[in-house]
């Protein structure tokens, strides 16, 4: 997502303007961002960081470790996280393939197809970025597999179902107490082709939501709430069919949430949030919906993609304590 006026970033960022003023002005930013090839910029930055690392003493590294929120261990214990992941995995339909994702992705993975500010993602000096959400990496892999299927059969309806559990990092600062810089997300994606009459949307959304209900039941949640939001008129039949599909399930409430503010511009068609009933309140534990990423990545407007993300830290705390924990980081 390129900006029309790069200078706008400098004028709205006093700290950046101060740094560039010391080093020769905005022309330096133009040189680094546009005047060097990716390989040359990597060569330059690797040398810069080598020199900076050479000057750091063990005591300075320890001071940084004490103060840097990105490097502190997770407050949720390993055993609690592992047992929660196992419970989620036990509920996953056999059709989904679990992947072990790389911790980094190509630069702009999170911003080129989704409405994510690049400053919320940790970039590396090697032209990559640290994973901020497993669904972005899963979407890349699903789109690659769909491209291969389309190359063999241009109208291939073959579904690609992928899942992964990944520790992710997000660079924005959260002011709420207990919000984490890194946290675990269990992500699902289903990619396929529009087959007409919103069949893909209904069938795959039902599958993701059935997994959610089964997964939360497996970790001991007795009351689950699904809130569905239609972002366009064409999604109404899908939402109505989903509400009918899940109407009789015990311990489950399905509501419509037309006033949802988050996710607009990120999701297309319809989206959802999932809440676990804890004590006398509902705690958000999952978020998902349809996105246009596979259309952009494959260049095919008939492609469809559904994503879901489950906050493993949050679910683990609920499972361990049976009470509402402090907020363990965002889900999307």
Indicate if the pLDDT at residue 92 is higher than 80. yes
Query: Averaged over 54-58, what is the pLDDT?
Result: 95
The answer to whether 286 touches 212, Cβ cutoff 8 Å, is yes
| pLDDT surpassing 70 at residue 96 | yes
> In the predicted model, is pLDDT for residue 221 greater than 80?
yes
- For the record, the structure tokens of 181 come out as 């810089």
Residues of each domain in the chain carrying CATH 3.30.930.10: 78-321
Phi-psi bin for 119: left (phi > 0), alpha (psi -120 to 50), beta? Answer: alpha
Q: Count of CB atoms within 10 A of residue 325's CB? A: 18
Residues 6+ apart with CB under 8 A from 259: none
Widest distance between CA atoms in the chain = 67
Mean pLDDT of 268-288: 93
What pLDDT sits at residue 319? 80
Q: Residue 153: what pLDDT?
A: 96
- Residue 328 reports pLDDT greater than 80: no
The count of C-alpha atoms lying within 13 angstroms of the C-alpha of 156, restricted to the half-sphere facing its C-beta, is 17
- Specify whether the CB–CB gap between 330 and 132 falls below 8 A: no
Identify the band that residue 272 occupies on the pLDDT scale cut at 50, 70 and 90: very high
Q: Which helix (H) or strand (E) holds 270?
A: strand 268-278
Mean pLDDT of 292-310: 97
Which region among 6-15, 81-90, 206-215 has the lowest average model confidence (pLDDT)?
6-15
Task: Specify the range with the lowest mean pLDDT, choosing from 51-55, 179-183, 249-253.
Answer: 179-183
pLDDT at position 327 is 47
Mean pLDDT on 291-298: 97
When mean pLDDT is compared across 146-150, 247-251, 288-292, the lowest value belongs to: 247-251
Q: Where are the alpha helices (DSSP H) in the chain?
A: 7-11, 14-23, 27-30, 38-55, 58-67, 78-91, 109-112, 134-152, 199-218, 236-245, 293-298, 312-321
pLDDT higher than threshold 80 for residue 332: no
Q: Is the pLDDT of residue 58 over 80?
A: yes
- List phi, psi (to 5°) of 69: -65, -20
Structure tokens at 228: 């569905």
pTM check: above 0.85: yes
pLDDT at 331: 56
Residue 195, classified by CB atoms within 10 Å of its CB into exposed (0-12), middle (13-18) or buried (19+), is middle
At 173 the pLDDT is 65
Q: CB neighbours (10 Å) of residue 140? A: 19
CA dihedral 116, 119, 122, 127 (to 10 degrees): 90
Architecture of the structural domain at 78-321:
2-Layer Sandwich (3.30)
Tens-digit pLDDT profile for residues 2-41: 344 444 566 677 877 787 777 777 777 788 888 888 888 8
| Burial bucket for residue 58 (CB in 10 Å: 0-12, 13-18, 19+) | exposed
Strands 224-230 and 182-193: unpaired
Q: What is the pLDDT of residue 267?
A: 96
pLDDT at 4: 44
Report, as an integer, the average pLDDT of 59-75.
92
What is the band of 181 on the pLDDT scale with cuts at 50, 70, 90?
A: confident
């Amino acid at each position: 997502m390129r900006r029309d006026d790069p200078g706008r970033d400098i004028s709205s960022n006093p700290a950046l303007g101060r740094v560039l003023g010391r080093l020769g002005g905005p022309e330096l930013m133009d040189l680094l961002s546009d005047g060097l090839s990716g390989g040359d910029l990597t060569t330059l930055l690797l040398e810069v960081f080598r020199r900076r690392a050479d000057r750091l003493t063990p005591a300075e590294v320890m001071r940084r470790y004490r103060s840097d929120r990105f490097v502190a261990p997770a407050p949720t214990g390993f055993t609690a996280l592992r047992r929660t992941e196992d419970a989620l995995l036990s509920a996953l339909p056999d059709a989904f393939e679990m992947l072990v994702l790389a911790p980094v992705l190509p630069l702009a993975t999170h911003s080129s197809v989704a409405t994510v500010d690049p400053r919320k993602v940790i970039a590396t000096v090697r032209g990559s970025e640290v994973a901020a959400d497993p669904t972005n990496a899963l979407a890349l892999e699903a789109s690659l597999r769909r491209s291969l299927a389309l190359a063999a059969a241009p109208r291939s309806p073959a579904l690609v179902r992928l899942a992964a559990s990944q520790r992710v990092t997000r660079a924005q600062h959260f002011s709420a107490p207990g919000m984490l810089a890194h946290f675990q997300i269990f992500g699902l994606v289903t990619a396929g082709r529009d087959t007409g009459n919103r069949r893909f949307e209904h069938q795959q959304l039902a599958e993701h939501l059935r997994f959610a209900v089964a997964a939360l039941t497996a970790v001991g949640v007795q009351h689950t709430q699904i809130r569905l939001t239609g972002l366009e008129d064409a999604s109404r039949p899908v939402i109505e069919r989903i509400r009918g599909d899940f109407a009789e399930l015990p311990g489950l409430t399905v509501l419509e949430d037309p006033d949802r503010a988050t996710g607009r511009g990120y999701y297309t068609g319809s989206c959802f949030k999932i809440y676990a009933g804890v004590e006398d309140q509902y705690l958000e534990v999952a978020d998902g919906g349809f996105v246009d990423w596979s259309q952009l990545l494959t260049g095919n407007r008939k492609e469809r993609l559904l994503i879901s993300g489950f906050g493993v830290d949050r679910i683990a705390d609920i499972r361990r304590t049976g009470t509402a924990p402090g907020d363990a980081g965002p889900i999307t």
